[in-house]
Amino acid sequence: MFEQIARDQDHLDLLVNNVFGGPYDARSTQPFWERPLSDWEQAIDLGLRAHYVASIRAAQLIVPRGSGLIVNISSFGSRNPMFSVAYGVSKAGADKMVRHMGAQLEGSGIAAVSLWLGPVRTERILALKVDVIEGFDIDTCESPEFPGRIIASIIEAGDYVQYNGQVLIAAEVAVARGIVEFGGAIPVSLRELLGGPEFS
């Protein structure tokens, strides 16, 4: 894919890392020692590794231009126990990756950021026909389009360098940039309930 971009487009402006192995059973109460090893394989060997590999390949196209943005989609699961131990490790790793990439990108005109989403009402979640996700009413959860609109706002404004190396809470960035959900709902940050990033 990156070879095709280099050949056909000659440059890259944005990479969003959002691959995730799953499936994790959000309703499971099994402790980590009873969970299958595939939790780790899917979250780390596939998910987190793909973030790293894609970031390397993207940076090879972005850095020579002196402008661009790399985003790791993460969650409050980086800080709080959610789903499985492997899930938390993968999200914490994605955040730490951004911190270290950001240090090496300093002054380059490129930014690497991690974006914490709240619960998202994906098609997969909606298919479960539940009213609550991780204790949150499904109607108040973020839409799948929400993070894309935030990232588009950042890339279009070109002011992403201010965020380099940071972990951002999507709802807070949205409010600061005047982005609301379709239908006009104002996103709510879960910082007060779940805490914020260890570094920002």
Catalytic residue selected from 24, 87, 160, 163:
87
- Token pair recorded at residue 104: 């090496």
**Within 10 A of 18 (CB to CB), how many other CB atoms are there?**
16
Give CA–CA dist 48/96, Å, rounded: 11
- Token pair recorded at residue 166: 């940071």
- Token pair recorded at residue 197: 């990033």
**Within 10 A of 119 (CB to CB), how many other CB atoms are there?**
21
Give CA–CA dist 187/179, Å, rounded: 8
Closest CA to 77 of 88, 69, 65: 88
Tell me 63's DSSP state: G
Sign of the dihedral through C-alpha 176, 180, 181, 185: positive
H/E segment holding residue 72: strand 68-75
87 is catalytic: yes
Closest CA to 196 of 171, 163, 164, 162: 171
Tell me which residues are annotated as active site: 87
